[in-house]
Structures are given as structure tokens and as C-alpha cells.
Copies of this chain bind each other. A is one copy, B any other.
Amino acid sequence: MDPHAPAPVRVLIWHEHRHEKINPRVADLYPDGMHEAIAAALRLDPRLRVETATLDDPNHGITADRLADTDVIVWWGHMAHHEVNDDAVDLVTRAVWDGTGAVFLHSAHFAKPFKRLMGTGCDLKWREAGDKEILWVTRPGHPLVDGIDDHIVLPHEEMYGEFFDVPEPDETVMISSFSGGEVFRSLMTWTRGAGRVAYFRPGHETYPTYHDPQVLRVIRNACHWAATRPTPPVQRFGKHDVGWMDAG
């Protein structure tokens, strides 16, 4: 190994991992779970160190120590958002404020940490009808779409439609159209404290979306983009007795 290479980005993929256990269609597509499909793709990048955690792990696999060893957390959830312990939500939220990146995928628009970070209801329109989805790049040159041409086509996906009730984003990087005529801002960014937050739409469990090389490329890009290690660590001061104007 090259001793001069920068330390790899420490990625933690968190997955609810329930659909695979009850729906044979999902189990067929993702025999080891969607998290392991994503992890396998990310592990091809030597600049990433990739771990996974799931809802049914002790403490959901989320502890203060583990988050302190994490640069970016990738999150997928859907049918069991309500089972996520509020202490875990607190830990993740505070980690983001201190600089840990967070990438929320698809139905994680209703995940507790995402809603906490957004401060809005996060509702949207949806339809499960195998719509064709085309994701268009609205910020060419952005690190999140490195290596992506001007659009990505997914033959079949769940439809998500506007109004998507999130705060006006820092950046709108991709927008989707669907066969039914709907549109959706499908790749957006925000900052919360020192932490970079991205939402990326595709990934319904009954489609092979996380085997699509371009979708995986965007997720990989997001891990690099969201990784910041604030130097010095973010300080929150509170009481402050001395003015600087005289103190120098």
C-alpha cells in the first residue's frame, strides 16, 4: 500500500433489511441484502473503507464509538422507520452536525434522521407501476455526477412525484421524469452544521436498481463528496466572557 495515499473514506451503509426477509422478489434481486449489493460495488474503490449495519443488529449497529470511526453514513429504510430507536437518531443527527456526511436513499425520505435534519414533512407522491425513469443532470461538473453523462435511464422504477416537501436545497443536481409525466428532484444537497447531506431517489426494493453501474457510481461519488473531517473539530462556544476587539 502506498504510504502517501490519503486515508480512505470510512463509509457505513445502514440498511433496514426487512423486505429481503419477507418478499422473495427482493430476496432474489438482493440475496445478501441491498446493503451488501451497494457495499460490494463500493469496495471496488480502494479509497473507500466500507462497513454495513442493519436494523436488527444490537443498537441497530449504531454506537457513538462506531460513528466516531465513520466519515459518511448511507441510509436505506422503508417499512420499519418507526422501529428505529430515538437514541440512535440522536447519535446520527449529532454526528452529522459535527461533520459526518449522510446520504439518504429512496424511501429513506421518511427516515427519522432525515426528517429531523430537514425540519419538514418530507411527503411526496408515489406510484408502483414500473414507470421508466430518466434522471437528468442539472449541475454538470458537480462531484456527485462525476463520470455521469447528461442523463441516466432506469427501465423500471417506483414513481416519486413533486411536491417533495423538503427545504429549498443548497444544490439541485439531478431531476427525474417518469413515464406517467411526473417529475422529481432526485439528487439534492443540504448542509446541517458541518455535515453534508444528500438525498438520492432511485432504489425501490423490487427492481435491480442497485445493480445499475451508474446508480452505484453516484452513490460512490456521494461518499467521497460527503466526507469532510473538520479541522479543527467544530466548536460550540456558549458563554464568552471576553470581547476580542481589545483582546487581540
A residues near B, CB below 8 A?
Answer: 2, 4-5, 94, 97, 99, 116-121, 123-127, 129, 131-132, 134, 136-143, 146-147, 149-151, 153, 155, 159, 161-165, 167-168, 170-172, 175-183, 185, 190-195, 228, 230-232, 234-246, 248
Contacts and interface: CB of A to CB of B under 8 A. Distances in A.
Nearest to A149: B232
Nearest to A244: B181
Contact of A97 (B121, B153, B190, B242): B121
A91 to B, nearest CB: 14
5 contacts: A127-B241, A138-B185, A150-B235, A161-B240, A168-B171
A126 B165 CA distance: 29
The list of the 8 closest CB pairs from A to B, nearest first, reads: A180-B243, A141-B194, A181-B245, A141-B230, A123-B236, A119-B119, A125-B240, A181-B244
A180 B120 contact: no
Given A127-B243, A132-B245, A177-B178, 5 more contacts: A126-B240, A127-B241, A146-B231, A150-B235, A163-B234
Given A182-B177, A240-B127, A191 B163 contact: no
A235 B142 CA distance: 13
A123 B192 CA distance: 12
Given A120-B193, A185-B138, A238-B123, A131 B161 contact: no
A193 B134 contact: no
B121 A236 contact: yes
Contacts of A192: 119-120, 167
A162 B112 CA distance: 29
A72 to B, nearest CB: 14
Given A162-B136, A231-B146, A141 B182 contact: no
Nearest to A194: B141
A180 B140 contact: no
A5 B179 CA distance: 45
Candidate in A120, A129, A131, A155 with the most chain B CB atoms within 10 angstroms? A120
